[in-house]
Amino acid sequence: MPEIAMQIDIAAPRAVVLDALNTHTGLTSWWTTGVDREGEVLLFDFPGVPEPFRLRRERADLDRVLWANAGAFPPHWAGTWISWDLSDQPDAPDRTRLLFRHGGWQPGSEEGVPMVAGTWAELLVRLKDYAQSGKTQPYFVTTLRHDEE
């Protein structure tokens, strides 16, 4: 099975990066303005997409954030998971090294992986910029269709 893996160094402490991955304000600042939640299931809306992506938060601590696909949409994401491993940069304990992985792709979904990888690369740059500067620059801008908790 293919897996997308990327590593990026961020000039910000792990707690700041964790907030960017784990809070409404953080996620809407670099990924999509359409973020909602049902318990531990995060709902991500995107322009022109008929229903939200559903990702269940399995873990969220200073070392790792792990999400598992919790829906049938989009079909090529079925069974996938996303992990964000956070560690200190060597010789810079106040800075974060982030290892991003998106795996669990099912046979037949491989053709979509390069496109998804390109989008994740852009998203990681926006995540880094947000964590380092606080500058809000979501990649996708949409309106919520769901009740916000």
pLDDT digits (tens, 9 = 90+) for 95-116: 999 999 999 998 887 777 888 9
What local confidence, expressed as pLDDT, does residue 108 receive? 81
Q: Distance between CA atoms of 85 and 97, rounded to whole angstroms? A: 8
How is the beta sheet containing 41-45 ordered, strand by strand? 4-10, 92-103, 81-89, 64-69, 53-60, 41-45, 34-38
DSSP lists the bridge partners of residue 88 as 96
pTM score, two decimals? 0.91
Residue 90 neighbours by CB distance under 10 Å? 9
**pLDDT average, residue stretch 79-90:** 96
**CATH tag for 4-133 (out of 3.40.50.1100, 3.30.530.20, 2.60.40.1180, 3.40.630.30):** 3.30.530.20
pLDDT digits (tens, 9 = 90+) for 28-67: 999 999 999 999 999 999 999 999 999 999 999 999 999 9
pLDDT band, residue 142 (cuts 50/70/90): confident
Q: Distance between CA atoms of 121 and 127, rounded to whole angstroms? A: 10
